[in-house]
Structures are given as structure tokens and as C-alpha cells.
Structure 1
Amino acid sequence: MTTLTKTFSQWSKQYIGGQWQEGHSQNRNSNKNPFDQSELVNIQLASVKDIDAAYQSAAKAQKAWQKVSPEERVKMMEKAAEVLESRREEIVQILVAETGSSHAKANAEVDFSIGDIREFSQLPLKMNRKVVSSIIPNKENRVYRLPVGVVGVISPFNFPLYLSIRAIAPALAVGNGIVVKPDLQTFISGGLFIASLFEEAGLPKGVLNVVVTDIAEIGDAFIEHPIPQVISFTGSTAVGRRVGEICGRNLKRAALELGGNNVMIVLEDADVQQAASAAVFGKFLHQGQICMSLNRIIVHRNVYDRFVEAFKEKAQLIQAGNPADPNVFVGPLINERQVNRVQGWIEESIARGATCIQRGGVSGTLMEPVILKDVTNDMPIAQNEQFAPVAAIIPVDSEEEAINIANDSDFGLSGSVFTKDVDHGVEVALQIQTGMIHVNDQSVNCESNIPFGGEKSSGLGRYGGEWSLDEFTTQRWVSVQQEPRPFPF
């Protein structure tokens, strides 16, 4: 308990203008461990006044930050990656206690974050001026890539450290100011820890700000504020539509990474054992609370029974429980509302013909793995993004049917195809309407130098590598007339 108190007691203040300070809301929030509901820390929330102060701070500090040499910004970002590695044990403990992450997932999240910071540390060197030809004699057309100014970042609860870093790191590297609003359930790992990280790395005061606040109090103030020119949002499609609507009305740019209803297609020539191993990992990692998690597993009927049996055998090796135990792979869902919602979908799907071949127990927020076979694509467990450890396995009679079912969704984030014919697997993959898809692998993949994003209701824009330049910079045309141009006046 002493260690926990020491670890979490410091995270009770907002980070605005380079200062750790109390929020001005009349309300407080208790940050609780989702496994046992013990309180980690209690914080005075930020008010609309605090949001304004944070944006004003970011705008003021950004002017000087933009002028810092690219080489110095590279060094600061590289230092941030070093600091994060040195504080790995601390943030892993936070992720386990605050988000219900297993040790494996927490360490992977740290690895992803370090990888992103290092990848984006080189962006300052890629803000190159481009010279374009002109139809006007003696004119030089220059195109400059510049920071947008200030970026507002709204991050979710499931991968809070990484999904905040994914937007913060590139936006900072190219010279923007930042205000972060982490999810209220994970405000330490999604915001305050990151502020501490960059503070230690030497980021000038005021460039990065974190406000811990409640939407019920601030409404749309974080998005509607006139200072931010880009709002980066990761979260549900329903909220993403709202964010996009507000941004459009206020002529702001929105970078949206939203929900997914991801498929694995197992073709009749697939290695069934390998496909089942990949499916168990891609389904149950972090309790299925990942936007890229497998939501639907579509299997050719000729190998369906063998796949189901192999999947069940491998899933029974999973240990569920307190994520503080390093042997646990499936921990708690983020709250009981999510548990209750998914249980309703399971019951309705069973009533409509799904067969439950494994029904783990439920205790509070801890939900043990569930496996449903004979699922059809119109059942709730297949139609909804679950964010839970429930495997929905759908039989099909043909490859064409599998592709049609895969595309019969409003979402298009990630996916997977298993087959022994790799070239044919790519042909199938290209027919799936999704932003990302993997042949002979599961759907949860992340690399810092790859364009990450979805199609349809899974979002707008791309994160990763040089694609992040397009999200967090603007391009300005400056023409230079080298010699006097004749005019008719």
C-alpha cells in the first residue's frame, strides 16, 4: 500500500502552463482501479476556465517552440524516449492499476510509445521547403511546411499512454503547442504521466498542457475553443461523429481514429492451428478492449469444426484475474456498464441461435473468456464493437461469402486473412474495405512508420511516420518574384 500511495499520490493536479496546479471546477474525480475499485488518487477537476488557460498557454509557448532549431527538437524528443524507457517500471505499474492492463500488454504499450517517439523525433528534419516551377517568368514558387499552431488531443481509456503519445509526439516534434484531455478513467497514464515525461525531457514550459475534466461539466468547450486548429480524437464512432461535426462547423481539422468491427477470415487452405493461435491472441489481448481487436472470426465450413476446437483448446490456457499477477492475460473491463452491455448481447445472440461453447464467469468487472459458435452476422455480438473477451465465430460456405460478410459493416479499421497461398491472401485482403489488414497474422498490429487509420465509420486521416506530417502541419505557398514583373498599369 505504501508503494501504491507513493506511486499515485503525486497525480492530483492539472498541468497548465508548465505548472502543477489545482483545477477550478467545483467537482472532484476519484481515479479507481477497475479490478478492485480501490481509489488510486482523487483530483480537483479542470473547469472551462482551466481549458482556456491551457490553450492560451499553448498558443503563447508555441511561438517560441516553433523557432527552436530542428536539431534541438530532435534532441528533446530523443531524450523523451530515453526518459520513458528509464521510467518503464513506473508506468507499467500505473497501466496495470489504472487500466487493468496485463503486464504483457502494459510493456507492449510502453514499447509502442517509445517506438513512436523515436520515429517522430526525426520529423523536424523533414519539414523541408519545396520549390515548384512557375508559369510567371522569373518567379520562384516555394511551398513551406509549417506547424498548425495548437493541437487539441482527446485520448481514450484502453491504450491511454500510447494513443496519447501517437498524437502528442508528432504534433510536438513539428513545432505545435498541445492541450491534452485524457479519458477521465485513465487520466494518469493518458495525460499527467506524459506531461511529467516531457517535463523531465526538457520541453519548454507551456508547450504541453494536460486538463483532467468531465464532459458533463465542460460540454463542447474543449473542441469549440477558437485556438486549436486541429482536434485529434481517438475513441468511439458515436463521439467521433460529434467531434467531426463540431470541427466542421468551426472549420477546424479533425483527425479521427474510431471504432472497429474487425474480422479474421480463415480460408479453407489455412493452417488451422496457427490461425487459432493468432485468433486467440488478437481476440483476448487486453480483454478485447482494443480498437483493432478481432470482433468477428469468419471460418470456411470445411475447416470450421477443427478451427473451433483448436481455438477452444488454446483459449482455455488463458489465465484471467488480477492483472497485478504477471501470469494473468485477461484482466477486468474498464467498468461494470461495459460488462452488463456485453452480457446482454451474448444472451440475445444465444437466443437467436448462437451456441455458447465456453462461458466464463463474471465477477464485478472481471469477465472470463466467452466463445460463441454458429454466429451469424446479424447477431448483436457480431454487429457491435464488443470491447470485451467474447469470440464470435461465423461459418461460411465460400470465400465470396466471407468477403461479403467482412464488408457488411459500417466499420473498416483492421483485419486479417489466413491462407497458405500468400499471393491469394493479398488478393482477398485488397477486397476488404478496411484501412489495415494482415495476411497470416491477427488484426492487432502497430508499427510507428506505417499509416495507421480506418475507412468508413472507423475514422478519418492517418497516424504514423511521415503521414502524421499531413495531420499536424499546414503548407504555405510563398512566391518570390526575382525580377520586376511587367503590369499593364
Structure 2
Amino acid sequence: MTAAAAVRINIPLIIGGEEIKTTNQYPVNSHIDPNAVIHNFSTFNIKDSSLLDMLYTSAKTGFEEWSTTPYDKKIKIFQKAIALLNERKSQLFDSHSDIGGPAWFAGFNVDGAIGQIEEYISHLSNPIGVVPQSLDTELALTIKQPIGPVLAIAPWNAPVILASRSIVAPLAAGCSVIHKTSEKSPLASYLFVKCFHDAGLPKDALQLVHVSPQDNPQFLEQVLSSGVIKKLNFTGSTAVGKKIAAAAASHLVPCLLELGGKNYSLVRKDADLSKAVPNIIWSSWSHKGQICMSTEKVYVHEDIYDTFKGEVLKLSSEISKDSDYAIPQRDLVFTKKIIDLVDDAVDKGAQVLFGDYNKDEYLKNNSISPLIIEGVTEEMLLDTTESFGPIFTIHKYSDEDKLIKQLNDSPYGLKASIWSQDIMKALSIAKRIEIGGIHINHSTVHDEATIPHGGVKSSGHGRFNSSWGIDEFSILKSITIN
């Protein structure tokens, strides 16, 4: 199946290895024309008890089979999946273009997903336990085992790489997976899952479900209350993540959550602005700001604030002409949210420093032009709300210790960057900031397969990638022998 052929087709569920097309379909709309349907997907009928039973039985059967599959066979299946992903790259690229992903980002997604799988392969033959010392037994063992069937929920904005990490981490641990797609990007998930099935993964080890948005809460409650799911991973907004965490907690199901952020850059007075300025602009505006790690706030030391501002405005005029910045936002919901945030800030005294802020054009074209805003203060919604748009705000600071305290008092903690030529001082600051990942002289948009990724506070908890990703979906079992 190609994305071109997917126009107006019905993307099926995959349950127990069987592709199921239901009469209930949900439309996936174009980012260019919100009234145009690019394809439909079959929705999971939450009132169909036989379908639910099939889903649960397959998840348990898949776990029993996959968790006992020898590691050498798992490696061969993962390697075959990589080969198929490479063969089907054009389809996966097209699935990104269909929802507004620029070409470079489509490549990053597919190559990033392949990189994740390659990294997990390198850990599949690792030792699964240790022999600790024991005074009361002749032999003590601790072994790492998969936690059980996992519910994996990924968002739309980077659908291949985010589907990949939500699926492959638990698979690498030996778990079976039920993957629930985003209603805005089901095709990418379908294509990814098909690569693993065609690579020889046991049919019950990975299932694909699409759910109508209005049915999401009930579907989640049904699946969690079944007792089948032993862990859940979710990537998305903090607001939705809180609801999912509350539902999971009521059934004592642990979660790995990668949630929203208000990511920032700290530009010290000794920063190399020739490197910092273009990187910060790129980190904010790439993919129209629709990346969870996008830079949204920039704190600049007062000694270089005017120089930084001048350099930013000069370079922004050139960069904003790139055709990628003409791509619309995913849909009008996001466009209207961004407008509301900017309106609130401007009404309360903030200034649009760069960009043509034309609300009528934005709504007409579903496209936000890149913006830089100055004078944002604590009482403005934009100061603490993730915009998910091509916007960053600039702020002047003088006291570094005071700024660090202010940053640590904020509710979010996903990504930050520090720009400084004094590396040891930057490292000292990085250690003091409460955050999941911080990058010195590099972009906040930084996620690679060998480095743990995740947030703290309202940006979530738990870590994807490499051995840390496997550990998230594993349990430690103690065994003593006399």
C-alpha cells in the first residue's frame, strides 16, 4: 500500500494478525484543506465484546510466545523489519507528507526509527541478570523479565519515530504490544506495524487499533480494567497525560509518560551567537513548531540582549522565506489555539517582534507564519502554555542564580539548551536545572537512540531509548536456591 493509493481507503485494524475493516469509519482530514478527507480508518467498536476478547486473548497469547522466543530469532526479525522499512521508505515518507511533515522531517523519522531498532538489537543478547551476594542462601539470582502486555499510545506529529519507540521498546523487552494510533496519523502506524508482521513477528505479539476520539476514554477504561495490560506508554500533551495516568492509577497499571514541555534556551553573555542564533531559530520553527522538543522561550543575558535581538531579527528575515514554513499547521484546532495564546499576550502588553501576525490569513490558510514575541510576562498564557507552533519568546535576565530558581519553579521539565563558551560553567548550570535533558551548545530538539529521553515534573516520567527503554518494560525477579 502506498500513501497515494491510501486516498479514501479504509485503514484496517490488525487484531490477532487479522486485518479487520469495520463499517464504522473515521475520516482523516488534510492539513491543507480541513474539509478534505485524505483517507478513513476503521474504528474499534468498544461495544463489541467479542472483538475485545479477541484483543485481550491475542495480547496474552502474543506475550507467551514472544517472551519465550530465543534472542537470536528476535534479532533476525528486527533485522528483517529494518530491511522492510528501508524498502518501503517512500510509503512512509508519503504518510508524513500527507499530514504536513516536511521532507527532511520525514527522513529524520524513518531513519530515526531504524536507528532505534538497531540500538535495541545491540542489547538483545545482553545478560539478563546478576548473582548478588547472599548470607541466607547458597545461591541468589536476579533476572530481568518482560513485564507483560503493553498498551502503546503515540501522537501524530512524528508518527513513524514515535510509533517506533512506543512499540519497539516493549518488544525488545519481550512484551506483546497493543498500539493505539492517533486519529490524525493512522497510516504511518499501519505501515510500520506491517513491516514487523511481514518480518515474521508472531501475529499476536503486535496489534493495531484505531479508536474514534469520543471513544478514547471508554476504550482506555475497558482495556485497563481487563487486567491484561501490565504497563502503558503515552506520548502527548500534559492535559491528556494526566487523565491517562489517573485512569491507569485506578487499576495500578504503571505508565511511561512523555508529555508537554515549555522548552527553553539559556544564552549566557559569553555565548557564540554565530552558532546560537541560527540553531535557536531552527529549534523553534522546524516542522512549524510541532515537535515536543521545540524551543519556545529564550533567556538572554542583559549584556548581550540587544546584540542577540539584532542578530535574530536579521537572520529570521532570511530563514522565514524557506518553503517549509509555508506548510500549514496540522489542523485548525492548533491554529486557533496559537492565535488565542498570541492574542492574550498582545492584549496584556507583549509585542510581536518579528512576523506578520495576520489572524484572518492564518485561519483562511490554516498556517501560522513564524513569530518572535517580546515582553511576555507571567500573567500571560503564552508564558506557561506550550504553543506547539512556530513561535518563541525572548526574555532578558541578569542574575543566573535567580533564573535557575525561576526555571526550577516552572511546572515543565522536558528539554533545555545552554549556550556558552565556558563549558565547565555550563555543565555546572546543567546539573542544577530540574529537567529531563539539557544540551550545551546544541538544539533542544535532540533525541537519539543511544541517549535516554524523557521528562520530569509535568513533562512526564520514565525513559525511552536503548537499555533504559528496555528496563522500562522489564521487571526484576529475585530467585534464591538452597
TM bracket (short chain): over 0.9
- Asked if 1:32 corresponds to 2:33, the answer is no
Amino acid at match of 1:88: K
Residues 377 and 111 (structure 1), Cα distance of their counterparts in 2 relative to 1, 3 Å cut? farther
Distance 1:57 1:65 in 2: 12
Cα deviation, 1:357-394, whole Å, max 9, x if unaligned, reads 22334143211111112223442222101101111111
> Which residues of 2 match residues 30-429 of structure 1 at below 5 A?
30-37=27-34, 38-48=36-46, 49=48, 50-98=51-99, 100-137=100-137, 139-189=138-188, 191-218=189-216, 219=218, 220-318=221-319, 327-329=323-325, 331-360=327-356, 361=358, 362=362, 363-429=364-430
| Equivalent pair of 2:289/2:388 in contact (CA under 8 Å) | yes
Shift of 1:305: 1.8
Cα deviation, 1:24-54, whole Å, max 9, x if unaligned, reads xx64211122123332212231122344422
Distance 2:267 2:378 in 1: 16
Amino acid at match of 1:170: A
Residues 7 and 317 (structure 1), Cα distance of their counterparts in 2 relative to 1, 3 Å cut? farther
| Equivalent pair of 1:54/1:211 in contact (CA under 8 Å) | no
- Asked if 1:12 corresponds to 2:11, the answer is yes
Residues 393 and 444 (structure 1), Cα distance of their counterparts in 2 relative to 1, 3 Å cut? same
Report the TM-score, using the length of structure 1 for normalisation: 0.91
Distance 2:31 2:127 in 1: 42
Distance 2:272 2:53 in 1: 56
Amino acid at match of 2:132: V
| Equivalent pair of 2:234/2:257 in contact (CA under 8 Å) | yes
| Equivalent pair of 2:9/2:40 in contact (CA under 8 Å) | no
Cα deviation, 1:311-362, whole Å, max 9, x if unaligned, reads 22222233579xxxxx424522222122112111111211222111223341
| Equivalent pair of 2:26/2:42 in contact (CA under 8 Å) | yes
Residues 265 and 101 (structure 1), Cα distance of their counterparts in 2 relative to 1, 3 Å cut? same
| Equivalent pair of 2:287/2:324 in contact (CA under 8 Å) | no
Shift of 1:127: 5.0
Q: Aligned with 2:117: secondary structure? A: helix
Distance 2:420 2:10 in 1: 48
Q: How much identity, in percent, do the aligned residues show? A: 27
Q: Aligned with 2:330: secondary structure? A: coil
Residues 296 and 471 (structure 1), Cα distance of their counterparts in 2 relative to 1, 3 Å cut? same
Shift of 1:214: 1.8
Which residue number in structure 1 is paired with residue 475 of structure 2?
A: 474
| Equivalent pair of 2:11/2:190 in contact (CA under 8 Å) | no
Residues 329 and 359 (structure 1), Cα distance of their counterparts in 2 relative to 1, 3 Å cut? closer
Distance 2:353 2:280 in 1: 16
Shift of 1:152: 0.4
| Equivalent pair of 1:5/1:40 in contact (CA under 8 Å) | no
Distance 1:353 1:475 in 2: 55
Compute the RMSD of aligned alpha carbons.
Answer: 2.0
Residues 439 and 410 (structure 1), Cα distance of their counterparts in 2 relative to 1, 3 Å cut? same
Residues 330 and 285 (structure 1), Cα distance of their counterparts in 2 relative to 1, 3 Å cut? farther
Amino acid at match of 2:43: L
Residues 112 and 479 (structure 1), Cα distance of their counterparts in 2 relative to 1, 3 Å cut? same
| Equivalent pair of 1:269/1:419 in contact (CA under 8 Å) | yes
Amino acid at match of 2:105: K
Amino acid at match of 1:340: K
Which residue number in structure 2 is paired with residue 484 of structure 1?
A: none
Residues 5 and 160 (structure 1), Cα distance of their counterparts in 2 relative to 1, 3 Å cut? closer
Cα deviation, 1:206-250, whole Å, max 9, x if unaligned, reads 110000012422523244331010001111111111222222221
Distance 1:123 1:229 in 2: 22
| Equivalent pair of 1:285/1:330 in contact (CA under 8 Å) | no
Q: Aligned with 2:38: secondary structure? A: strand
Distance 1:430 1:224 in 2: 40
Which 4+ stretches in 1 moved above 6 angstroms?
none
Q: Aligned with 2:309: secondary structure? A: helix
| Equivalent pair of 1:264/1:416 in contact (CA under 8 Å) | yes
| Equivalent pair of 1:318/1:328 in contact (CA under 8 Å) | no
Cα deviation, 1:98-128, whole Å, max 9, x if unaligned, reads 2x11111111111211110111123321251
Report the TM-score, using the length of structure 2 for normalisation: 0.93
Distance 1:418 1:134 in 2: 49
| Equivalent pair of 1:374/1:395 in contact (CA under 8 Å) | no
Distance 1:168 1:337 in 2: 28
Residues 62 and 3 (structure 1), Cα distance of their counterparts in 2 relative to 1, 3 Å cut? closer
In structure 2, runs of 5+ residues without a counterpart are none
| Equivalent pair of 1:269/1:420 in contact (CA under 8 Å) | yes
Amino acid at match of 2:339: Q
Q: Aligned with 2:373: secondary structure? A: strand
Q: Aligned with 2:271: secondary structure? A: coil
Residues 320 and 229 (structure 1), Cα distance of their counterparts in 2 relative to 1, 3 Å cut? farther
Q: Aligned with 2:392: secondary structure? A: strand
Residues 11 and 305 (structure 1), Cα distance of their counterparts in 2 relative to 1, 3 Å cut? farther
| Equivalent pair of 2:11/2:186 in contact (CA under 8 Å) | no
| Equivalent pair of 2:62/2:204 in contact (CA under 8 Å) | yes
